Structure 1
Amino acid sequence: MRAESGCYASEVVKVCRASKVRFSITVRQHRSVCRPIEAIPEAAWSPIPYWLDGGADVTETTYTPFAAQKDTLPVRLIVRPVRPTPGSRLALLTLYDYPAFITDRDGETVALEADRRRHAEIESAIRDLKYGMALNHLPSGRFVANGTSLAVQVIAHSLARWTARLGLDAGIVTTKTLQRRLFGLRRPAHPLGASRDASLR
């Protein structure tokens, strides 16, 4: 099971273990998590490919979540320090961010971190489809109409990603970023007026 910090709770971990389900859960950045991260020696970090300039590193340590409760067991804490996205609010406050997750999965540290990040990329694409391509406003209560709209939006989203990466050398950007920064559009085109001619507003 892969989950974000909203599922970081002892009850979730207990249910996973009782059901013999392997878990991978983002930890909340409180002091008890920061202490073992700060204690990791410099030589323990392994460089990995990353989309931001300068790449990123990854390592792991042992951590016991929810230590104040009974029957808690130590788990693997995998950490990936990265520079915040340029232009983000976090970039004004810190030099590095330290996203981390606990897991009881077997495997190499680098492979587990890469597998988790692949899922995050999928979630980012789904979010962009919802809020960049308006997937969260499917037009009909009919399955066929919504299926057609979904197919068209996925095609448009894929074309936008390929345009950014191959045609504009812009890397991974959201649809709204393409509209606003690269094409100068604040909103997508809408038909206006009685003639229903396509116009921009």
Structure 2
Amino acid sequence: MFTAHRFHAVFTDTALGLVEAEATHRRHAIIEQVFADLEDSALAHLPSGKFTANAAWLTLATLSHNLTRALGTLASTFHTRARTGTVRRHLIAVPARLATSARTLTWHFPDR
């Protein structure tokens, strides 16, 4: 059985060893994806010109991003790795109807 391995060259000027440098690089790549995800959503509306408004907006953007990521993690493995826009489109912005019958609330979701 043939297994493909991918190798990447690493050049660094830090005193870290290869394993630590690679781990630092991977952490950096993850945070870059988070920044890109935030800039595609709530951070696209910054700056406002008022420091307190920007601080409040950043706090709410971070909170909503974390809650959306948590919802995606609970939903499925696909949504665990999906961007927040996809999670919003698939899980949050779903049209549903709330019906009451015999003091029981029932959500009626679309078939797909």
Q: Report TM bin, short chain.
A: 0.5 to 0.7
Q: Secondary structure at the match of 2:81?
A: coil
State whether structure 2 residue 15 is matched by structure 1 residue 101. no
For residue 13 of structure 2, what is the amino acid of its counterpart? D
Aligned to 2:49: 141
* Unmatched runs of 5 consecutive residues or more in structure 1: 1-53, 58-80, 82-97, 186-201
Aligned to 2:75: 167
Q: TM-score scaled to structure 1, two decimals?
A: 0.39
For residue 48 of structure 2, what is the amino acid of its counterpart? S
Superposed displacement of residue 150, structure 1: 0.8
Hey, what's the Cα distance between the residues in 2 that align with 1:158 and 1:184? 14
More strand by share: 1
Aligned to 1:34: none
CA contact (8 A) 2:68 2:84 kept: yes
Change in CA separation of 1:118 and 1:128 when aligned onto 2, cut-off 3 Å: same
Counting matched residue pairs gives 90
Q: Secondary structure at the match of 2:14?
A: coil
Percent of aligned positions that are identical: 37
More helix by share: 2
- CA RMSD in angstroms, aligned pairs only: 2.6
CA contact (8 A) 2:73 2:80 kept: yes
Q: TM-score scaled to structure 2, two decimals?
A: 0.65
Aligned to 2:20: 111
